[in-house]
Homo-oligomer: A and B are copies of this chain.
Amino acid sequence: MTVKRRRPGRPAGSTDTRTVVVAAAREEFAEHGYDAATIRGIARRAGVDPALVHHYLGSKEQIFVAAMDLPFEPGAALPEVLAPGLDGLGERVTRFFFSVWEDPARRAPFLAMLRSAMTHERAAAMLRQFVMRALLARIAAELDLPDRELRLEAAAGQLVGVALLRYVVRVEPLASADVELVVALVAPVVQRYLSEDGQLA
């Protein structure tokens, strides 16, 4: 493979090299999982210098987002969702989650990851590690609660489960319900998990 050095000022990702690096990243993540995958390993597969991997794709999380074809960087949306504080957090998280899933093009890569996770242990490990590192650990850091990881995962289960029944299995009336009704239904539960008042026995 030949790597052409791009001219400065050209937008990142406009050459074939980016495609090759993304494909290499996809293989590296699939083989080693999110945690054990390395920039060096991706570079070796792509036959390029590790610096070039960073140059084209950025951080490990950004590389993963590109490799999995995710429609956005989940971690990037977090500050905005978290910043206003605990008050209304459940609704902001729920609204953000469904804003992504409402769009078939944006939910497709998440569905693909979930599908793979259901059949391949390696894909499950990759999804698990990514979700924990990029999302849950960062939200947990903002919460001052006992069992916060467990609560966050129960909240994530609520969101993922409703998404599964609404968009994949398509049970009615959930599948056809206005998304605002779904948010009104689910947001208080998410808020409850993130708040002290939802006591564990």
Name A's B-contacting residues (CB within 8 A).
Answer: 111, 114-115, 117-119, 124, 127-128, 131-132, 136, 147, 149-151, 153-154, 156-166, 168-174, 177, 181-182, 184-186, 188-189, 192-193, 198, 200-201
User: Is there contact, CB below 8 Å, between A173 and B149?
Assistant: yes
Cα-based distance from A168 to B174 in the complex (angstroms): 24
Determine which of B124, B153, B182 lies in contact with A174 in the assembled complex, contact meaning CB atoms within 8 Å: B153
Contact partners of A164 in chain B: CB under 8 A: 114, 118, 157, 160-161, 164
Please state if B173 and A153 are interface contacts (CB–CB under 8 Å).
yes
A165→B156 contact, CB < 8 A: yes
Q: List 14 extra interface pairs beyond A124-B169, A151-B185, CB under 8 A.
A: A117-B169, A132-B171, A136-B171, A153-B165, A153-B173, A153-B174, A154-B174, A157-B158, A157-B161, A158-B162, A161-B164, A181-B200, A184-B201, A189-B189
Query: Which are the 8 A-B pairs with shortest beta-carbon distances?
Result: A161-B161, A157-B161, A157-B162, A184-B201, A153-B174, A160-B161, A158-B158, A157-B165
Contact present for B115 and A168 (CB under 8 Å) = no
Chain B positions within 8 Å of A147 at CB level: 185
A154→B185 contact, CB < 8 A: yes
> Oligomeric state, in number of copies?
2
Question: Is the pair B154, A124 in contact by a Cβ cutoff of 8 Å?
Answer: no
Q: Which residues of B contact A157 (CB under 8 A)?
A: 158, 161-166, 174, 186
Q: What residues of chain B lie closer than 8 Å to A192, measured between beta carbons?
A: 189, 192
- CB-nearest residue of chain B relative to A121? B170
Interface centre among A150, A154, A168 (most CB of B within 10 A): A154
Q: Which chain B residue shows the least CB distance to A198?
A: B188
User: Do residues B177 and A150 form an inter-chain contact, with CB atoms below 8 A?
Assistant: yes
Complex CA gap A200/B184 in Å reads 6
List, in ascending order, chain B residues with CB within 8 A of A188's CB: 198
Across the interface, do A128 and B160 meet the contact criterion of CB distance under 8 Å? no
